[in-house]
Amino acid sequence: MGRASTLSSHERNQTKTLSTTGYTVKQIADVVKRFRKAIMNFLRHQEEYGTKESSRLPD
């Protein structure tokens, strides 16, 4: 089973906005239609989010 794609810039901005207005992680996940874990990871590590290189094996 593969990894889901990272949050788009729109989803990231939406998540930040909803978080600062008091939405819970579950509410944000429902609005953005992403898993709670993805939202939590983004909120915890906003600066580093989406910068990790792929760990795929070389072709």
pLDDT of residue 34: 95
| Residue 14 lies in domain | 9-49
Number of compact structural domains in the chain: 1
Write out pLDDT tens, residues 7-52.
999 999 999 999 999 999 999 999 999 999 999 999 998 877 877 7
Closest to 11 (Cα-Cα) out of 3, 19, 22: 19
What are the backbone dihedrals phi and psi of residue 32, each rounded to the nearest 5 degrees, phi first? -80, -15
CA pair distance 38, 30, nearest whole angstrom: 12
Name the residue with tokens 């953005």: 32
pLDDT of residue 2: 64
Rounded to two decimals, the pTM is: 0.77
Whether residue 36 is contained in a domain is answered as yes
Whether residue 23 is contained in a domain is answered as yes
Name the residue with tokens 């600062």: 20
Q: What's the Cα-to-Cα distance from 56 to each of 38, 46, 52, rounded to whole Å?
A: 20, 23, 12
